[in-house]
């Protein structure tokens, strides 16, 4: 195999974790010697920066933008869930048609078809492309909760399937009858060099204070609890906000991330803890800046909920890998998706969706530095096996064995 096309239906580049995932994956595949191209829709709202500048990745892969019917720019579309769903369907369907036309031309030669991998977590484009090429590689992000009969047929058409954790792998085999030989179970990854920067807490806070002088919580004597990521409900951010109210007066919680709409909604829900200074909401920051925020923390928190299967079972959270690579103590929800990556030697687990238990866990990390340092060191050692390069190498080796 010489060429890999990573098909991604979303704004690229953008602040979304899925877009970052695509960029990191493409960089890693290119590092394995594959001529790699991201194929994305020409949607409005994507950053005008290149992927290398936006994400801090090497410019080793190409990007092809295909025509798409984009309705998201219309003012009324984002006001209602129904119109958002319609806009998504129109975009997804038109992007799939564009992909079919694009690859029908690219794969016209038999030699080109045999040397090319079509890699994606987007089922509709891959379904269409499976009639043009046998080298389709489906990466299962979320687990299909409906349409099981369809997915049996769809997955049969895929040559390879990548699944992020054991729960989904075992479930897919039992529910869809997928041959285990064509499944690769591989967790997500992290760029360790990006997060294991030689920066102390004091130095990190000083650097951030220079960029954001209005944030009083960055004072050297403040105990900082840090969450970096989106503010979706299943991420457990509301539980962390509630736990913040129970922490000592000198302990502040900083939330870094979220779309403008999600930030505004979060601020409304937690106006009291924000107004009294217990919680500081920064909003979206460039991914290249996130390592500095995490280095400034006394404790990093991953409060994912157990109330939704996407959090409890489906995910293989990139955020956890980034936390582990930052060499800072971590408090996390005790749920299967996180347990599969870390253990009691590397993370302090607390019951999910329990603000009081979360507050006690955070306080323990602050009050017991010997335990905190031990957990942080163990987490850093564990995450060394989960680099993007190692992940791409394993995927390439799997393809080679299955040819």
- What per-residue confidence (pLDDT) applies to 395? 96
Say what the pLDDT of residue 372 is: 97
pLDDT bracket for residue 315 (50, 70, 90): confident
Say yes or no: 232 and 151 in one domain.
Answer: no
Whether residues 257 and 246 fall in one domain: yes
Q: What is the pLDDT of residue 45?
A: 87
Residue 133: is its pLDDT beyond 90?
A: yes
Alpha helical stretches, state H, 32-161: 51-55, 81-106, 110-114, 123-129, 148-157
Q: Kindly compute the dihedral angle of the four CA atoms of residues 116, 122, 124, 129, in this order, to the nearest 10 degrees.
A: 0
pLDDT at residue 1 in the model: 64
Same domain, 341 and 203: yes
Are 85 and 218 within one domain? no
In this structure, the answer to whether residues 313 and 226 fall within a common structural domain is: yes
* 264 and 127 assigned to the same domain: no
Q: What is the pTM of this model?
A: 0.89
pLDDT over 90 percentage in the chain: 81
The single residue listed with the structure tokens 């984009």 is: 70
If one counts the domains in the chain, the total is: 2
Same domain? 150 vs 282:
no
Same domain, 276 and 136: no
Whole-angstrom distance, CA of residue 99 vs CA of residue 17 = 22
pLDDT of 285 reads 92
> Among 32-41, 92-101, 168-177, 290-299, which is the least confidently predicted range?
168-177
pLDDT at 226 > cutoff 90:
yes
In this model, does residue 29 exceed pLDDT 70? yes
In this prediction, residues 188-214 reach a mean pLDDT of 93
Both 262 and 346 in one domain: the answer is yes
Answer yes or no: do 369 and 235 share one domain.
Answer: yes
CATH number at residue 164: 3.40.50.2000
104 pLDDT band, cuts 50/70/90, is: very high
Question: Are 291 and 368 in a shared domain?
Answer: yes
Q: Are 234 and 204 in contact (CB under 8 A)?
A: no
Confidence of residue 403 (pLDDT cuts 50, 70, 90): low
- Rounded average pLDDT over 372-381: 97
238 and 177 together in one domain: no
What mean pLDDT comes out for the span 275-300?
A: 95
Query: Which residues span the domain enclosing 110?
Result: 3-189+387-402
Q: What is the mean pLDDT of residues 10-37?
A: 94
Q: How many C-beta neighbours within 10 Å does residue 264 have?
A: 14
């Amino acid at each position: 195999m010489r060429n890999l096309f990573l098909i991604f239906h979303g704004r690229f580049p953008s602040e979304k974790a899925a877009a970052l995932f695509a960029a990191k994956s493409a960089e890693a595949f290119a590092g394995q010697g594959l001529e790699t191209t991201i194929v994305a829709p020409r949607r409005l709202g994507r950053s005008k920066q290149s992927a290398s500048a936006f994400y801090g990745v090497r410019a080793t892969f190409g990007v092809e933008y295909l025509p798409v019917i984009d309705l998201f720019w219309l003012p009324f579309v984002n006001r209602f869930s129904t119109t958002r769903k319609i806009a998504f369907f129109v975009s997804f369907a038109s992007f799939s048609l564009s992909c079919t036309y694009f690859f029908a031309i690219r794969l016209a030669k038999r030699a080109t078809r045999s040397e090319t991998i079509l890699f994606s977590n987007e089922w509709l484009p891959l379904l269409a492309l499976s009639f043009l090429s046998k080298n389709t590689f489906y990466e299962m992000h979320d687990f299909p909760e409906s349409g099981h009969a369809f997915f049996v047929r769809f997955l049969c058409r895929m040559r390879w399937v990548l699944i992020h954790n054991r729960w989904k792998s075992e479930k897919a085999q039992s529910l869809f009858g997928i041959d285990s030989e064509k499944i690769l179970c591989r967790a997500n990854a992290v760029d360790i060099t990006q997060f294991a920067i030689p920066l102390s807490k004091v130095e990190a806070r000083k650097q951030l204070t220079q960029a954001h002088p209005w944030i009083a919580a960055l004072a050297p004597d403040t105990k900082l609890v840090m969450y970096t990521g989106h503010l979706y409900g299943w991420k457990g951010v509301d539980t962390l906000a509630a736990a913040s109210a129970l922490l000592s007066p000198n302990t502040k919680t900083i939330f870094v991330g979220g779309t403008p709409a999600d930030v505004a909604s979060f601020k409304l829900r937690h106006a009291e803890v924000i107004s009294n200074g217990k919680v500081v909401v920064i909003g979206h920051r460039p991914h290249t800046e996130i390592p500095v925020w995490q280095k400034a923390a006394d404790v990093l928190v991953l409060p994912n909920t157990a109330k939704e299967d996407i959090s409890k079972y489906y995910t293989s959270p990139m955020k956890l890998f980034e936390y582990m690579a930052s060499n800072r103590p971590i408090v996390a929800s005790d749920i299967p998706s996180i347990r599969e990556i870390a253990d009691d030697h590397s993370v302090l687990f607390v019951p999910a969706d329990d603000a009081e238990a979360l507050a006690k866990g955070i306080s323990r990390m602050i009050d017991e530095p010997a335990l905190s340092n031990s957990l942080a060191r163990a987490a850093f050692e564990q995450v060394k096996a989960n680099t993007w390069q190692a992940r791409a190498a394993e995927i390439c080796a799997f393809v080679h064995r299955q040819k």
